[in-house]
Amino acid sequence: MAEALGSDQLERILLSSPYHQWLALRLRQCSAEGIEIGMGWREEMVSNVQIQSTHGGILAGLIDLTGLFTILAAGGRVTATADLRVDYHRSARPGALVARGRPLKLGSRLCTAEVYLHRQDDDALVASGRGAYLNAGA
């Protein structure tokens, strides 16, 4: 396992993605045991205008990317998502979300992480899931 990337490097890579910029991401915490990413809110994220719910695809993307950066912070050299699974627990209302990831397995070929999305205001669990990522070092 290579040396894990530091917080500054990780944030630079995180924000080099145009989609991540659009999501208004921020790396809040970062260690080999887990990371925390904050996501802002914008009107174009809304799925159902009546209930102002954030679209499931936005949440799925936040789980996907948080899992990948969780693995990078833990020393994995992953480059692409192999597969992703998301459970939706309750509606995400307008407002910031916090994504917390922790590594499940750093394998030589595949790395797996689990991620939990909480509303920032009341910490309610909005969605959670897992990503499996292909290791470049194979």
**Contact range with its own copies by CB under 8 A, out of 14-22, 28-36, 69-77, 94-102:** 14-22
Could you say whether residue 94 binds its own copies (CB under 8 A)?
no
x/- map, 107-126, its own copies, by CB under 8 A: x-xx-x-x----------x-
Work out the number of other CB atoms within 10 angstroms of the CB of residue 21.
11
Residue from 77, 88, 93, 96 touching its own copies (CB under 8 A): that is 88
Cα–chain-centroid distance for residue 132? 12
x/- map, 24-53, its own copies, by CB under 8 A: -------------------xxxxxxx----
Cα–chain-centroid distance for residue 39? 9
Shortest separation between residue 38's beta carbon and its own copies, angstroms: 16
Shortest separation between residue 96's beta carbon and its own copies, angstroms: 17
Could you say whether residue 128 binds its own copies (CB under 8 A)?
yes
Tell whether the torsion through CA atoms of 24, 38, 86 and 4 is positive or negative.
positive
With a CB cutoff of 8 Å and minimum separation 6, the contacts of 3 are: 75
| Closest listed residue to residue 97, CA positions, set 43, 30, 36 | 36
Nearer of residues 8 and 22 to its own copies, judged by Cβ = 22
Could you say whether residue 56 binds its own copies (CB under 8 A)?
yes
| Closest listed residue to residue 38, CA positions, set 28, 46, 48, 51 | 28
